[in-house]
Structure 1
Amino acid sequence: MNITLITVGKIKEKYLKDAITEYSKRLSRYCKLEILELQDEKTPDNASEKEELQIKSKEGEAILKCVKDNMYVVALAIDGKMLSSEELAAFIKEAGVRGNSNIAFVIGGSLGLSKEVLNRADYKLSFSKMTFPHQLMRVILLEQVYRGFRINAGEPYHK
């Protein structure tokens, strides 16, 4: 199974970098992981709605350039479907069974994802109705994907 994280924005905090490195190492037992970190666009203070749409559109273009035709695209979106850890594990397993062995999880920038990216997505996933910093979301996602592989392998995991 190939898992690609397509993310907007750099990770600046060492503790988040360390967590990402740790989960990447743990995941290497179960899948081939690639993390693509794209440049985020600077959002001016008091940006207009039009400016925000332009920023999301530009970030969306960069995201879509990373998406290959054979990827099953999962967009992290606040209005997506919420799954339990067991349901995410089943989702990953079923994707592989259906022949979707290249899953791309997309995490947008601070303004979210463009409608073009959301339209390309095969699935919209939400972790909560709350908003999380996109840098922290990367760690949460990697932990849940790792947990999903452990569940699928019948290995113990913290409940």
Structure 2
Amino acid sequence: MKITLLTIGKTEDKYLIEGIDIYFKRLKHYIPFKITEIPELKNTKSLSKEQQKSREAELIFKNIQSTDHVILLDENGKEFSSKDFSVYLNKKMVGGQQHLVFIIGGPYGFSDEVYSRSNDKISLSQMTFSHQMIRLFFAEQLYRAYTILKGEPYHHD
């Protein structure tokens, strides 16, 4: 199984880039993992929120395959403990899933078409975080999940 984190826009803050890089390197030990950044839309002032979501959807669809298992990182998604998230990932591996694509949407979330295409929705918290911070939090939780699965001492109960 391989995992992709698909994001709208780039991570700009140096401290976040450094943190993401730390977990990106650590994850390579456990699973093929990549981050794909879709450029932010330009000249959006004349676009409605729905138009922006629709244009972002077009870009998202260009980066996923019909066989991908698509998981949206969404405020209304299912919440997991770190252990439960590791169980979720393990079920996907054991179930023969080849490619998980986790998606962080743009500032207004996802279009109805993206919601329709998704297989799951996960929320990392009931709190709201910047899209850039979510990338770091997700990478850390993914790393934590794999250390839990391997019985390594990173996670403490």
- TM-score, normalised to structure 2, is 0.94
Cα deviation for residue 158 of structure 1 reads 3.5
In the alignment, which residue of structure 2 is the partner of 1:122? 119
2:154 maps to a residue whose letter is Y
Unaligned runs of 5+ in 1: none
Using structure 1 for the length normalisation, give the TM-score: 0.93
Q: 2:147, 2:155 within 8 Å by CA — same for their partners in 1?
A: no
- State whether structure 2 residue 112 is matched by structure 1 residue 92: no
Q: What is the one-letter code of the residue matched to 1:37?
A: E
In structure 2, the residue matched to 1:153 is 150
Question: Are 1:14 and 2:14 an aligned pair?
Answer: yes
One-letter code of the match for 2:25?
K
> CA shift at 1:112, angstroms?
1.1
CA distance in 2, matches of 1:2, 1:75: 16
Instruction: Give the distance between the partners of 2:107 and 2:66, measured in 1 at CA.
Output: 26
Task: State the one-letter code of the partner of 1:98.
Answer: G
Spell out structure 1 runs of 4+ moving beyond 4 A: none
Give the 5 Å matches for 1:1-159. 1-42=1-42, 43-44=44-45, 51-159=48-156
Deviation string 1:78-120 (CA, Å, 9 cap, x unpaired) is 1110010001000000001111131110000111111111111
Paired residues of 2:4 and 2:99 also in contact (CA < 8 A)? yes
Alignment partners' CA distance in 1, 2:115 and 2:77: 10
Count of residues paired in the alignment:
155
Q: Give unpaired runs (5+ residues) of structure 2.
A: none
What are the Cα deviations for residues 32-62 of structure 1, in whole angstroms up to 9, with x where unaligned?
1111100122443xx7xx7010001101110
The percent of aligned pairs where both chains have the same amino acid is: 41
Amino acid of the residue matched to residue 104 of structure 1? V
C-alpha contact 2:16 2:132 (8 A) present in aligned 1: yes
